[in-house]
Amino acid sequence: SYIFLSLIFILFFCILRCCVCFFFFFFLMIRRPPRSTLSSSSAASDVYKRQLLDWPQGTFASKVEINGDKINVEREVDGGLENIEIGTPAVLTCDLRLNEPRYATLPNIMKAKKKKIDTKDVADMGVDVASRIEVLETFEPPARKAGIKVETVEELLDKLKNEAKVI
């Protein structure tokens, strides 16, 4: 009976250890740092929005202060920090150092899964979704010439030197 109890005890701790490892892995996957923008951190979508709205823009803000109708933006540039003052309304893009990100906890994730998402019609919000982009032309890139196979290294070097003129 002692052997049976010790086997159950070992089995219990193995299962407990697997559960702890699973939750540790699960939380590591959840706590990834947020991405800066949807445009692969190049801030291209923000420039596009700014152009459509014709508003001033403060990019890569690491500190933002609002003073009435002016916004003071401290941004990182290659030479250090740059302070700019822009009017409102404006498009701001933030650097990762602007704030401390909040990470979702497991209970809040479970609550969010149960929460009902309201859907609204665009026409009810008074938003114009008409396209402002005019496509002038689309075309395929020129077709590439077929490649060739060479038998020896000497033949390859000859073609690179005499035909392609890259060596």
Cross-strand pairs, 66: 71
- Reported pTM: 0.41
Give the integer Cα–Cα distance in Å for 91 and 55: 7
Chain Cα centroid distance, residue 95? 12
pLDDT number for residue 85: 92
Q: Would you give the DSSP letter of residue 86?
A: E
> Could you tell me the CA-to-CA distances from 136 to 53, 111, 133 in Å, in that order?
22, 48, 9
pLDDT number for residue 89: 85
Q: In what order do the strands lie in the sheet with 91-94?
A: 80-87, 70-77, 57-67, 91-94
Instruction: Render each residue's pLDDT in the chain as its tens digit; 167 residues.
Output: 567 666 676 766 666 665 555 555 455 444 444 444 444 555 667 777 777 788 888 888 888 888 888 989 888 888 788 899 998 888 888 877 777 777 888 888 889 889 988 888 888 888 888 887 788 888 888 888 888 888 999 998 998 888 888 87
Give the integer Cα–Cα distance in Å for 61 and 88: 15
- Of residues 10, 34, 19, the one with CA closest to residue 103: 34
- Reply yes or no: is the peptide bond before residue 56 cis, omega within 30 of 0: no
- Give me the torsion for CA of 80, 86, 90, 94, rounded to 10°: 20
Q: Are 53 and 92 in contact (CB under 8 A)?
A: no
